[in-house]
Chain A
Amino acid sequence: MVKIDTIFFTIVDRGKANAVLRKARECGATSGTILLGEGTVQSKLLDFLGLTETRKEILLIPASDELDTNLHDQISQSFNLSKKNKGIAFSIPFQRRTLNNSSQEHNISIDDERFNHCCIFTIVEKGRGMDCIKAARAAGARGGTLIHGHGAGVPVDSYFHLAIEPQKDTVLIVTRKEKAVPIKMRIYNDLELNKPGNGIIFTLPVSRTSGLFEDKAEDRKGGTS
C-alpha cells in the first residue's frame, strides 16, 4: 500500500467543529482550519418559505496516511457519522508543498482505481450556489455544502478607486465517481459556465469517506429529482 498524504475534510453542524478538532488533536493531528458553510435541506415546505439552509462548519486537517485512517475511525465513532444527518468526512489527496522537496512529481489521479468517490468543486457568483446545487440534484447528487468566499480584487472605476472583491459561492459535492460526470455536465450546462466569468468547476479525487449516504439517496431519487 502506498502512502498518500491527504487533507481530511469534515462537515458537521455549526458549533461542533471545535469538538471535532479537539478529538483530532488527540489522534495526533497538528493543525486544522475551520470554515463556515451552509448545508442544504430537502423539503418543499421549507423551500417555499425560503428556509433552504442549515448552518455547517467545514474542518480541514492536513494528515498523513496513518493519521487519516485513524481520524476516519475515531471521528466517525465519536461523532456518530454513521448515522444520518450527523455529518460527513472525506479525504482528498493533497501534498504539502515545501521548498526542500520541490522535485516531487504528481502521483495521484482521479482515475485511480482505489478511489470510488470524488469531490466536485464549483465556484460561481454569489447567489448562484443554490442553483448549482439544484442542477446537481437533478443529475443525481444528494446535496452539497456551500461556502462563501470572495474572489481576488478587480479594480473598479469609482470615486474611491476600490478593488471590488466579488463575492463567490463555492459548492462542494461529494459523490461516487460514476455520477460525477453527469453532475458536472449538468452544472456546466445549467449555469452556463462556458461563458467567461460565470464560474469554474473542478473535481478532486476522494480517497476515503465516512458518513456518506449515497445509496439511500439512490432509492429516493425518484421523488427528489
Chain B
Amino acid sequence: MSSLIDKVKEVAKTLIPVVVLVLIICFTIVDVGTDVLFRFLVGSVLLLIGLTIFLWGVDMAMNPIGEYMSKEVATSKSPVKIAVLGFLLGFLITVAEPDLLILGNQIEEASGGTLSSFLIVYMVSIGVGAMVTLGIFRLLRDRPLNRFMAVTYGIILILGLLVSQEFLAIAFDSSGATTGALTTPFVLALSLGLSNVKGGKYAEENSFGLVGIMSAGPILAVMLLSIISGQKNIHGDAGEYIFQKGVIGPILEAVPHIFIESLVALLPITILFFIYNFTKFKIKKSEMVQIIKGLIFCLLGLVIFLTAVNCGFMDMGRIIGMELAQMSSSLLIGIGFVLGLIVVLVEPAVHVLGSQIEEVTGGYIPINLIRMTLSLGVGTAIALSMVRIVVPEVKLWYFILPGFALAVFLSFKSNPVFVGIAYDAGGVASGPMTATFVLALAQGAATVIDTANVLVDGFGVIAMVATAPVLSIMALGTIFERRKVVELKHSAEETGSVADMPIAVSDFNHDCLIAIVNRGYAGYVVDLAREAGATGATVFHGRGGTDHPTVILPIVNIELMPEKELICLITDIDKSENVADFILKDTELVEKGEVAVYISPTFALIKDFSSDETSTATV
C-alpha cells in the first residue's frame, strides 16, 4: 500500500500549505461565511483525491501514448508526414481545450461580436499546431532552443508593439488557456518521447521546451488576428458575479458539466491514438489494458480535480480578493505574493514536470530547487499583478515585454537543460489553479477598486504567471552553469588497490564491464568499445560525486552532483581487457570524461548470434 500512500503524501505536501494559509486568512482577516468555508474544505479533500488519481493516470496513459506517438513522428520517412502529424497533434489537443472556448467567448463579448469565438478557437489551435510542428523539427534537427525562442520572441516583441494594451493581455492569456491540465502533461510526454527516440548527446536538453514553443503559438495567432482585423479596443464589463449557496449542492451541480468538458478534452488524443494503434502500433493487450485504465484515471481525476477547484476554490479566491482590496492595498499585494508562492505547487503539470526532470537528469537537478524557484517566480508575478490592479498607471507591458527580452538574453548564458525547463515552466505554471483561484482573487480585488476594470485587469494575470517562472528558472540555470565551470578541474583519482588472488575457475565466457563517465561521453565510449570488439551496451543515467569538494548552493544548502553516465557492457572474456584498455587509452575520455572502468567475470546466458551480429548489438 505504501506507494499509494506516497502518492497521496506527495500531493498533500503541496496542498496543505494552501489550505492552512487560506484558513488563517479566514479566521483572522476576512470573514467569508460558513458556506464558502465548508465548500473550500470539501474542495480541498476532493482536490487531494482528484489530483492524485489524475497524476497516476498521466503516468499510466499519457506517458506511453506520448512515447508511441513520438516514435511514430520521429521515424517517419518524409518531412511532410512529420509536419502533418505534428500539426494534427498540436491542433487537436488545443481545439478541445475547454479553457480556450471560455476565453473565446469572453473575447467575443468584449469585442462586441467582431471576433467570433469560433474564429479565435481555430486561429489559436492552428497557431499551436504550427508551433508544435516547428518545435518537432527543431528537436529532430538539434537546433539550439535558445536561438529558436529568441527568434520567436523577437517576432512577438515586434507584434507586441503594434497591438493594443488589451490585446497584448488577451494574447498572452490565450497561451495560458491552451496549456491546460491535459495538454501540458501530454506535450511534456511527447517531448520526452521524441528526445528518447532521438537520443544522442543533446537528449537531455531536447526533453524540454516543447511546451514553451507550443505556448508561443496562441500569442502569435491572437496578435496577428488583432492586427489583421484592426480590432484594437475591448470594452464591456464582466457580468455581476453571483456567489453560490450551500455546500454540497453547487459541487454536485457542477459535475456533469465538468465531466463533459473533460471528456471532450481527452477524446482527440485518445481517438488519434486508437486509430494509430489499430493501423500501426498494435500494442500488446496487457499494455493496452494499462493505458485504458490510465485514461479512465485521467478522466476521473480531472473531473474531481476541476470540480474541487471550480466549486471550492473560486468563490474563496474572489471573496478574499474583494475583502483584502477594501482593507489595504499593501496587504493585498503581500498576501498575493504568499498565495502565489504556494498555489503554483498544486498545479498538476508542476508535479508532472517535476518527475520528468528527475527522470531525465537522473536526479542531477533537485526538484525541490526547481519548485522553490517556480514558487518565487509566480509569487512575484501575482504580487505585481496586484500592484497593477491597485495602481492604474502600471501597465502590463512594463513587465511582459522586458521580461521576455531578459529571458531571451539569459537563455544564452544559462545551462542548456534549464532553457527548455524554463520555457516549459511558463506553460506549466499557468494551469487550472491559476485560471480559477488566482484569477478569481485578482478579479475580486478589481471589482472593489474603482480605477480597475475587472475585464481588462483580469486579463493579464495569467500572462504574468506565465512569464515570471521563465525568468526565475532561467536565472537559476545561469547560476548552475557558473557553478559547473568551477567544478570541472579534477585530479586523477587514486587507483584502487590491486588484489592478488589465484586464478579461479575459468568457466566464464564473458566479462561484465562497467564504465562510469561524465555525461555526454557514453556514446563515445560505446563507439570505442565497438571498435575494440564489444557488441552492445546499455547506458544508464545517473549522478555522482567524487571526493573533491562538492558544490553546495548557498542558502538552500542543496548539494549539486555532476551528472554521470554508466555504461554496462557484456563482452567475451578474451576481448574484455582489450576493450577496457582501448577505452582507457583514449586521453580525451580519461581527462574530460573522467572515465573509470570496472571488470567482473560473469556467467551470461547469451546465445551466440554470430551470424546475426547486429541484433545482439542492440541488446
Where the two chains meet, the residues of A that have a C-beta atom closer than 8 Å to any C-beta of B are 2-5, 7, 17-18, 21, 25, 29-36, 41, 43, 45-46, 49-51, 53-55, 57-58, 60, 62, 64-65, 85, 92-102, 104-112, 121, 123, 127, 147-154, 156-160, 162-168, 170, 184, 188, 193-194, 196-205
Cα of A148 to Cα of B362 in the assembled complex, Å: 10
Q: Which of B359, B496, B526, B614 is in CB contact (< 8 Å) with A5? A: B496
Q: Measured between C-beta atoms, what is the minimum distance from A83 to chain B in Å?
A: 14
Q: Is B211 an interface residue (CB 8 A)?
A: no
Cα of A202 to Cα of B514 in the assembled complex, Å: 14
Cα of A34 to Cα of B540 in the assembled complex, Å: 10
Cα of A221 to Cα of B201 in the assembled complex, Å: 45
Q: Is the CB–CB distance between A34 and B56 below 8 Å?
A: no
Cα of A107 to Cα of B584 in the assembled complex, Å: 21
Q: Answer whether A35 and B566 are a contact pair too, CB < 8 Å, given A96-B597, A111-B505, A127-B287.
A: yes
Residues of B close to A101: CB separation below 8 A: 495, 498
Q: Measured between C-beta atoms, what is the minimum distance from A88 to chain B in Å?
A: 16
Q: Measured between C-beta atoms, what is the minimum distance from A103 to chain B in Å?
A: 10
Q: Is the CB–CB distance between B2 and A151 below 8 Å?
A: no
The digit string for B268-290, where 1 denotes a CB below 8 A from any CB of A, is 00000000000000000001001
Give 9 new A-B contacts, CB below 8 A, not counting A3-B501, A34-B561, A106-B504. A2-B499, A36-B363, A46-B3, A97-B513, A106-B511, A166-B618, A170-B568, A200-B606, A202-B510
Q: Is the CB–CB distance between A204 and B512 below 8 Å?
A: yes
Q: Is the CB–CB distance between A193 and B605 below 8 Å?
A: yes
Cα of A162 to Cα of B195 in the assembled complex, Å: 11
Cα of A112 to Cα of B507 in the assembled complex, Å: 12
Cα of A166 to Cα of B508 in the assembled complex, Å: 28
Q: Is the CB–CB distance between B3 and A162 below 8 Å?
A: no
Q: Is the CB–CB distance between A25 and B539 below 8 Å?
A: no
Q: Is the CB–CB distance between A201 and B604 below 8 Å?
A: yes
Q: Is B617 an interface residue (CB 8 A)?
A: yes
Q: Measured between C-beta atoms, what is the minimum distance from B104 to chain A in Å?
A: 36
Residues of B close to A51: CB separation below 8 A: 3-4, 7, 56
Cα of A205 to Cα of B197 in the assembled complex, Å: 34
Cα of A101 to Cα of B603 in the assembled complex, Å: 24
Cα of A50 to Cα of B213 in the assembled complex, Å: 32
Q: Measured between C-beta atoms, what is the minimum distance from A20 to chain B in Å?
A: 12
Where the two chains meet, the residues of B that have a C-beta atom closer than 8 Å to any C-beta of A are 1-4, 6-7, 56, 60, 74-79, 82, 140-141, 196-200, 203, 287, 290, 293-294, 297, 358-359, 362-363, 493-508, 510-514, 516, 523, 526, 530, 536-547, 559, 561, 564, 566, 568, 570, 573, 577, 580-581, 584-585, 596-607, 609, 612, 614-619
The 5 closest A-B pairs by CB, nearest first: A165-B199, A33-B544, A107-B501, A202-B604, A35-B542
Q: Which of B74, B297, B541, B616 is in CB contact (< 8 Å) with A35? A: B541
Q: Which of A35, A149, A162 is in CB contact (< 8 Å) with B140? A: A162
Cα of A147 to Cα of B581 in the assembled complex, Å: 27
Q: Is the CB–CB distance between A95 and B77 below 8 Å?
A: no
Cα of A85 to Cα of B6 in the assembled complex, Å: 14
Cα of A164 to Cα of B118 in the assembled complex, Å: 41
Residues of B close to A92: CB separation below 8 A: 600
From A98, A111, A203, A205, residue with most partner B Cβ within 10 Å: A98
Residues of A close to B363: CB separation below 8 A: 17, 34, 36, 57
Q: Measured between C-beta atoms, what is the minimum distance from A52 to chain B in Å?
A: 8
Residue on A nearest B506 in the bound complex, by CB:
A106
Q: Answer whether A60 and B566 are a contact pair too, CB < 8 Å, given A34-B543, A96-B496, A202-B510.
A: yes
Q: Is the CB–CB distance between B197 and A108 below 8 Å?
A: no
Q: Is the CB–CB distance between B75 and A158 below 8 Å?
A: yes
Cα of A214 to Cα of B60 in the assembled complex, Å: 31
Q: Is the CB–CB distance between A112 and B504 below 8 Å?
A: yes
Q: Which of A5, A31, A99, A201 is in CB contact (< 8 Å) with B584? A: A99
From A34, A50, A152, A188, residue with most partner B Cβ within 10 Å: A152
Q: Is the CB–CB distance between A104 and B498 below 8 Å?
A: yes
Cα of A35 to Cα of B598 in the assembled complex, Å: 17
Residues of A close to B79: CB separation below 8 A: 159
Sample (20) of A-B pairs whose CB atoms are under 8 Å apart: A4-B499, A33-B544, A33-B564, A36-B358, A49-B293, A97-B597, A99-B581, A99-B585, A109-B505, A110-B603, A150-B196, A159-B77, A160-B198, A165-B198, A199-B619, A200-B604, A201-B606, A202-B603, A203-B602, A203-B603
Residues of A close to B506: CB separation below 8 A: 106
Q: Is the CB–CB distance between A50 and B584 below 8 Å?
A: no
Q: Is the CB–CB distance between B545 and A165 below 8 Å?
A: no
Residues of B close to A64: CB separation below 8 A: 496-497
Q: Is the CB–CB distance between A105 and B603 below 8 Å?
A: no
Residues of B close to A148: CB separation below 8 A: 359, 540
Q: Is the CB–CB distance between B542 and A33 below 8 Å?
A: yes
Q: Is the CB–CB distance between B504 and A157 below 8 Å?
A: no
Q: Answer whether A107 and B499 are a contact pair too, CB < 8 Å, given A151-B619, A152-B530, A159-B82.
A: yes
Residue on A nearest B598 in the bound complex, by CB:
A94
Q: Is the CB–CB distance between B618 and A152 below 8 Å?
A: yes
Q: Measured between C-beta atoms, what is the minimum distance from B508 to chain A in Å?
A: 7
Residue on B nearest A124 in the bound complex, by CB:
B619
Q: Is the CB–CB distance between B601 and A108 below 8 Å?
A: yes
Q: Which of A31, A105, A170, A199 is in CB contact (< 8 Å) with B547? A: A31
Q: Measured between C-beta atoms, what is the minimum distance from A126 to chain B in Å?
A: 9
Residues of A close to B507: CB separation below 8 A: 109, 111
Cα of A202 to Cα of B561 in the assembled complex, Å: 30
Residues of A close to B511: CB separation below 8 A: 106
Cα of A149 to Cα of B1 in the assembled complex, Å: 27
